[in-house]
Amino acid sequence: MPEAFGTLPMSVREKAKLCEFARVPALVVHPAFAADGAMHGSLAPVLLWMHGRTANKELDPGRYLRLVRAGIASVALDLPGHGARFDDALQQPERTLEFVEQMAGEIDGVVAAMAATGWFAMDRVAIGGMSAGGMATLIRLCTPHAFRAACVECTTGSFAWQRNRAMFEPQRAARLDPIQHLASWRAIPLLILHNALDAWVAVEGQREFVEALTTRGLATDVAMHEYGETGAPHEHSGFGRFSSDAKDRQTNFLVSHLRDSR
């Protein structure tokens, strides 16, 4: 049993499998999974989730537990260079946009492989991520897709606000920056959670991104919630003492938008 998987609480492990989808390592937590390895239940709506830099797919099991108890599956992916495909050099901050771009390009292959399993209700798929994973999410949503909803945390859709961070590569940023590539953006339900004091990803970038969606008439179902001081490291990911509130907001959002096949 891979070490990170073994650290998950039993309540998550008993509903989980380690898989590879299009050669991308994935943790699947599914309400119909059982200890005998078989499916005992129906297809489930699903959240495709991507973690942040230096983390792994097993991070934050409370997220997956809330969702599985609400009848929603999770497919959590290891970003390039992370988790089961560990590469310390690729995790360095100056290479963030490099692995984010690779991850965004891998999403369609992952979704196709998910469909082939017969485990998921593929008309009820949401996508999301935190920090770097959120960047991959927003980049992917700037091209045609079939996702029902999206949720991102501690991330940005306006890369210009990161220009003084090590992650900023001018040429790659110009090629990927979501706010500059909204021509194919489709108005879907979007939940944005951010810390107003975030020292690593400026909240102003997300505010500007939401304003850009609004100006283009693409923010018909966008909700952005900002937390104040949370006690999280660098006031960045996890939301500190508001962690449970953030997870509850995400779960309620996904239940609202994935619970039927409209």
Confidence of residue 41 (pLDDT cuts 50, 70, 90): confident
Closest CA to 201 of 60, 95, 53: 53
For residue 206, the one-letter residue type is Q
Confidence of residue 40 (pLDDT cuts 50, 70, 90): confident
Confidence of residue 262 (pLDDT cuts 50, 70, 90): very low
The domain total for the chain is 1
Confidence of residue 42 (pLDDT cuts 50, 70, 90): confident
What is the predicted pLDDT for the residue at 260? 67
The first and second tokens of residue 71, run together, are 């009848």
**47-86: pLDDT as tens digits:** 999 999 999 999 999 999 999 999 999 999 999 999 999 9
Closest CA to 226 of 212, 211, 246: 246
Strand order of the sheet with strand 120-130? 16-21, 24-29, 73-77, 44-50, 120-130, 149-153, 190-195, 222-227
Taking the C-alpha atoms of residue 238 and residue 150, their distance in angstroms, rounded to an integer, is 18
The first and second tokens of residue 8, run together, are 């998950």
Beta strands 16-21 and 24-29 are antiparallel
Confidence of residue 2 (pLDDT cuts 50, 70, 90): low
What is the predicted pLDDT for the residue at 1? 46
Task: Give residue 63's region: left, alpha or beta (phi > 0; psi -120 to 50).
Answer: alpha
The first and second tokens of residue 154, run together, are 């501690």
Burial level of 40, CB count in 10 A (0-12/13-18/19+)?
A: exposed
* Angle (nearest 5°) at CA 168 between 164 and 174: 120
Beta strands 73-77 and 16-21 are unpaired
Can you give the CATH number for the domain in which 94 is found? 3.40.50.1820
Confidence of residue 233 (pLDDT cuts 50, 70, 90): very high
Taking the C-alpha atoms of residue 14 and residue 97, their distance in angstroms, rounded to an integer, is 35
**135-187: pLDDT as tens digits:** 999 999 999 999 999 999 999 999 999 999 999 999 999 999 999 999 999 99
What is the predicted pLDDT for the residue at 105? 98
The size of the chain, in residues, is: 262
Which range of residues forms the domain containing residue 98?
3-258
Contact indicator for 89, 167 with CB cutoff of 8 Å: no
Backbone angles phi, psi at 26, to 5 degrees: -140, 145
The mean per-residue pLDDT over the stretch 207-222 comes to 96
Please say whether the dihedral angle defined by the alpha carbons of residues 179, 115, 58 and 226, taken in this order, is positive or negative.
Answer: positive
**76-130: pLDDT as tens digits:** 999 999 999 999 999 999 999 999 999 999 999 999 999 999 999 999 999 999 9
